[in-house]
Chain A
């Protein structure tokens, strides 16, 4: 796991100097890059990240509620499991690259035998316990897996969601392959293929304060600041590894314009280096590919899928895709 230097004086957004290399030779580099700028980061910020992730996106919630009771679905990149119980009538199989987040997700499922493990991040009004009449949530499950090497068998499930995941993949080929993997899991023998919902950050964020919009740089490093307020937490926070900081941390992500950025190379250990500060909160640089309008639909087609419907919701693009019939 990468351990990025801590600093409070990190550039708000660091631009990547070169366009992301999409060729196969770059695959290993892309992997190493994502290990440093996605996987390592989430592993380190898991509890903090989890504490800031409560509300399901409306488009995702309505997709889940539209699924028939007792159908079975995947949540690839389930994070802390906030979508696993949104529709307690369906069975969800969640997977995530981060073992730390999967452990949190499992605790939210409230498995007997995990007594005492309580997650403070449970959202109000969220139904996690078994619904007596439908009960799909009672048999939901989670595991650790990479979105590009999913362990699910072909056509295993009725539907899949993949929320805020593929924008962390650093080449277009990998993002398309991730969609291909999702489509593979809903490829059924029946006439109609299951639906896949993919949700990504948009380049067009004119209404937000982040300052990103049409025509801007699409490949970015976005800082996550583990803001601690107790001396103890600060000392322990030098490597960014925290155990329980729900009560002492405040998230600050993104937030400023890309004007103050330093050029960065795509691969390499130094990519996330920040200037040193005296007493500082750990800063983690997460890689994002911001999707421009229409790009997500293009990726679905390139992955061999068809677009059922698509839309924009508060700084995000989403698409519902399926296998061609």
Chain B
């Protein structure tokens, strides 16, 4: 699962949705792999408004990547900053969590990731 995807995910438990602690989910014992994806500045610029920046900062730090700036770059800034482009491209689009867990900060439920696929099926008492 790509780091980009993680930015769109919150806890699957309905009662967690209203809690800000259910997003982002926290990687645990994450094993990372890097895909080779051709850099596409236009794609990054377009995806950027869809990203929750504060959550991405948290994720980046938790995965051991460099701390991101407080505020997201504007489209112009991003297009002009090759280093930032490359860093965000690698983090969002190339990095994958292939094994590990995602933990909800609200209910503590752990979702397993195996062979790159996260499983959000809930045990019956959490549905």
Closest residue of chain A to B111, judged by CB?
A151
Closest residue of chain B to A149, judged by CB?
B12
Whether B8 lies near A114 (C-beta < 8 A) is: no
Q: Which of B12, B47, B52 contacts A150 (CB 8 A)?
A: B12
Instruction: A245 to B9: give the CA distance in the assembly, Å.
Output: 34
Whether A91 lies near B47 (C-beta < 8 A) is: yes
B42: interface (CB < 8 Å): yes
Whether A103 lies near B117 (C-beta < 8 A) is: yes
Minimum CB–CB distance from B116 to chain A (whole Å) comes to: 7
Given A113-B33, A135-B40, residue A143 in contact with residue B1 (CB < 8 A)? yes
Instruction: Tell me how many residues of A have a C-beta within 8 Å of chain B.
Output: 42
Instruction: A110 to B43: give the CA distance in the assembly, Å.
Output: 19
Instruction: A72 to B120: give the CA distance in the assembly, Å.
Output: 20
Minimum CB–CB distance from A99 to chain B (whole Å) comes to: 7
**Inter-chain contacts of A102 with B (CB < 8 A):** 117
A70: interface (CB < 8 Å): yes
**Inter-chain contacts of B14 with A (CB < 8 A):** 149
Closest residue of chain A to B115, judged by CB?
A103
**Inter-chain contacts of A112 with B (CB < 8 A):** 35-36
Minimum CB–CB distance from A27 to chain B (whole Å) comes to: 9
**Inter-chain contacts of A149 with B (CB < 8 A):** 12-14, 120-122, 127
Whether B42 lies near A145 (C-beta < 8 A) is: no
Interface residues, chain B, CB within 8 Å of chain A?
Answer: 1-2, 4-5, 8-14, 17, 23, 33, 35-38, 40, 42-43, 46-47, 50, 52, 92-93, 96, 98, 111, 115-122, 124, 127
- Report 11 cross-chain contacts, Cβ distance below 8 Å, ordered by A residue: A69-B46, A93-B8, A111-B96, A111-B116, A112-B35, A143-B5, A144-B120, A146-B121, A149-B13, A149-B14, A149-B120
The 6 A-B pairs of least Cβ separation, nearest first, read A70-B46, A145-B120, A151-B12, A153-B10, A141-B5, A151-B120
